[in-house]
Structure 1
Amino acid sequence: MSDTLRLALPLLAPAQAQKHVTHNEALLRLDVLSNASALSRSLSAPPAASEGATYLVGAGAGGDWAGHDGKLAHWRDGSWQFLTPYEGLSLLIADEGLQLIYGTGGWVSAVDLVAENNRLARTAHGAETRCLLLESELTGLSGAYAETAPIIPNRAIVFCVSSRTTATVSGAGSYDVGLSGERSKFGGSLGVSAGSTNAGVIGPTAFYGDTPLRISANGGDFTAGSVRLAVHLLLPIVPQS
């Protein structure tokens, strides 16, 4: 083996002459990959570069970058050096203030890796505070109201239900988002046109049972349309031992 498996850093050979050359090359590569950053990404051709400049090669780039899609192009000693990313490499794109992560599917925004169920805090015995986002879409609307399955979990603390009209609602002039018995708890007289949105923020409210959301028609019954709902909540998890 002449290179390390992860960073592809060159290794010294037994009784090798000019060891400093191999050693320095490893340091130079490590200098690029450690806390990696690039000036820009997705360029179609190499820009005029200064010593030490690094870019993320875009798909289908030409010129000296041809065939190096997705690699780091680093200008050193008058030529481009190309570094192959490894699984889990984090890269800052300076001109966008964007953090990318490299995985089996290529580069993705670190924001896109955020889960719908995140642990905020945990004790040694398994007690947790989680932040959750739970979505449900009500389609083919019909009648005076429509309800989700019980989407709000028992013991959840809800602080918002946001909504989006994903297909134009007909039959009603507007709609409310709430619960059985609290018709417009998360928003009233909301828009029926596709693309209409609302963030129905409330004071943090505890729920003591699995609870469905309800949308209610105003000015007539629903005859068609779709609405997507998202519940923004905190969920406590009791100690596990």
Structure 2
Amino acid sequence: MDQTPRIGLSYLAANQAMKHVTLNESLRRLDAVVQLSVVSQTIVAEPESPAPATSYILPDSKTGTHWAGFQTGAVASFQDGAWFEIAPREGWLAWIEDEASLFVLTESGWEALQEAGGGPFETLGINSAADTTNRLTVCSDAELLTHDDVTPGTGDARKLINRASATKVASVVFQTGFTGEAEFGLVENGGFELRTSSDGTLFSTALSVDTASTNVGVGGSPAGRFSVLDQSVATNEQPTLSVTRDGYFATAYLDTYADAATYSSFSIQRRARGSLAAPLAVEEGDWCGGFSFRGRSAAGDWAQRALVNAIVDGPVAADDVPMAMGFWTGAGGLAERMRLTSSGRVGIGTTTPTAALDVAGAVRVGAFALTDIPAAAEAGSGAMIYVADAPAGATLAYSDGSVWRDVSTRSTI
């Protein structure tokens, strides 16, 4: 063997004359091949006045006095005023100047490894194998994307996911054992959704935002500014929107009833006693939901300052749950101040009213001077007032629908 097997450098032979010629030829080849950089791989015409120490990868349609005789794909290097041919081997790397790309020689020819700015790579696997479906695969406990403080950039950091059209999907899917369980992103209907799945195939919408109107829907596409769609089909199923705390179950609904007098309501539901599979009825005295109003004290704590709640106020029948409303206020602690029972009685200062209006305390009616009392007909029969300057002295008066009368003497005032 008189040449090296990979680059083709000539060996110096024993007793060889003019060894410097052979050595210089090898140095020229090394200078051309090591850190190989070529002007182009697409220029077909041999330059008439090439710059010293320039090289080219020769294309199929090459022309020229010297290039025409060289092999396609060979490296033609101009040194010491002459062209010489270098036959590259598979695995060699070459920087192509007019494409600003790094190429590698494969059995199929010269192929790009990296263009200016990075890529394109057909697939890229980091600590894992990539394929044509998952062209980028990363096997790692964590991945970090941070803002550009090198260039430097703006300080912002965004991850962009671009879809082809509004009928396509741009989303992030979360899996367990490569089975999808949750997904959020832009979906086929044009909205932004959070969806979950029990089988990795069928996803149900938990939260939906209309990207045009910014309307929000819980359980499905929004029907208004904010809408909750209850998708339960059985009485014992858990509702769409729920909050659980300390083992107690609370539910908020937005309901629409499609009947002749269509209306909507906001309702709060207390979970019935017993399991969801076989619920038991609520019992007398149970609280079934309410609204709490909080205020912040000078000490900085947030606490309930007022409350409206619903209470079961009688025996529960198979198809009926009597319900009262309680109104609570207080300073330093809440107390029930008024109750409206399921029978329509109102108790002020008592939770067990025995009349239509039961007041546990003094009652004051409006006080008027004779010149200021309202018309009796306007006040209506049964109305009562206090007249401080009545002819017979201060007295309570009632309206009979036409005139005001003294409650003691029934005389007209």
Preserved CA contact (<8 Å) 1:153 1:211: no
Alignment of 1:65-84 (within 5 A): 65-66=67-68, 67-84=70-87
| Aligned CA distance change for structure 1 residues 29 and 134 (closer, same or farther; 3 Å) | closer
| Aligned CA distance change for structure 1 residues 91 and 82 (closer, same or farther; 3 Å) | same
Q: Distance in 1 between matches of 2:32 and 2:138?
A: 47
Report the RMSD for the aligned CA atoms in angstroms.
4.2
| Aligned CA distance change for structure 1 residues 156 and 46 (closer, same or farther; 3 Å) | same
| Aligned CA distance change for structure 1 residues 41 and 20 (closer, same or farther; 3 Å) | same
Q: Distance in 2 between matches of 1:87 and 1:189?
A: 47
User: 2:133 aligns to what?
Assistant: 135
Q: CA deviation at 1:175?
A: 3.6
- The AA in structure 1 aligned to 2:18 is Q
User: What TM-score do the two structures reach when normalised by structure 2?
Assistant: 0.34
Deviations along 1:129-185, one digit per CA (max 9) or x if unpaired, are x6967726xxxxxxxxxxxxxx999978799795665xxx9xxx62434456756x2
Q: Distance in 2 between matches of 1:133 and 1:162?
A: 20
Alignment of 1:9-28 (within 5 A): 9-28=9-28
Q: Is 1:187 matched with 2:190? A: no
Q: Equivalent residue of 2:98, what SS? A: coil
- The AA in structure 2 aligned to 1:176 is V
Q: Distance in 2 between matches of 1:12 and 1:2?
A: 8
User: 2:51 aligns to what?
Assistant: 50
| Aligned CA distance change for structure 1 residues 51 and 131 (closer, same or farther; 3 Å) | same
| Aligned CA distance change for structure 1 residues 44 and 134 (closer, same or farther; 3 Å) | closer
Q: Is 1:116 matched with 2:124? A: yes
> Aligned match of 2:108 in 90, 105, 109?
105
User: 2:169 aligns to what?
Assistant: 176
Q: Distance in 1 between matches of 2:202 and 2:42?
A: 43
Alignment of 1:199-210 (within 5 A): none
Deviations along 1:61-102, one digit per CA (max 9) or x if unpaired, are 112312421111111233211111122211111222211111
User: 1:8 aligns to what?
Assistant: 8
Q: CA deviation at 1:19?
A: 0.7
| Aligned CA distance change for structure 1 residues 102 and 153 (closer, same or farther; 3 Å) | closer
Deviates further, 97-106 or 60-69: 60-69
| Aligned CA distance change for structure 1 residues 213 and 115 (closer, same or farther; 3 Å) | farther
Preserved CA contact (<8 Å) 1:117 1:131: yes
Q: Is 1:36 matched with 2:45? A: no
Q: Is 1:95 matched with 2:98? A: yes
- The AA in structure 2 aligned to 1:42 is T
Greater strand share, structure number: 1
User: 2:238 aligns to what?
Assistant: none
- The AA in structure 2 aligned to 1:27 is L
Preserved CA contact (<8 Å) 2:123 2:132: no
- The AA in structure 1 aligned to 2:67 is W
Q: Distance in 2 between matches of 1:2 and 1:24?
A: 15
Preserved CA contact (<8 Å) 1:152 1:212: no
For CA contacts below 8 A with separation 6 or more, give which structure has more relative contact order.
1
Which sections of structure 2, spanning at least 5 residues, go unmatched?
115-119, 146-158, 174-179, 191-198, 206-413
Q: CA deviation at 1:42?
A: 1.1
Q: Distance in 2 between matches of 1:187 and 1:154?
A: 26
How many residues in Structure 1 have an aligned counterpart in Structure 2? 168
Q: Distance in 1 between matches of 2:74 and 2:16?
A: 30
Which sections of structure 1, spanning at least 5 residues, go unmatched?
120-129, 137-150, 192-209, 217-241
| Aligned CA distance change for structure 1 residues 174 and 7 (closer, same or farther; 3 Å) | same
Preserved CA contact (<8 Å) 2:58 2:75: yes
Q: Distance in 1 between matches of 2:112 and 2:140?
A: 33
Q: Distance in 2 between matches of 1:177 and 1:108?
A: 32
Pair member with larger Rg: 2
Q: Distance in 1 between matches of 2:88 and 2:188?
A: 51
Preserved CA contact (<8 Å) 2:93 2:105: yes
Q: Equivalent residue of 1:32, what SS? A: helix
Q: CA deviation at 1:116?
A: 2.9
User: What TM-score do the two structures reach when normalised by structure 1?
Assistant: 0.55
Preserved CA contact (<8 Å) 1:51 1:76: yes
Preserved CA contact (<8 Å) 1:72 1:85: yes
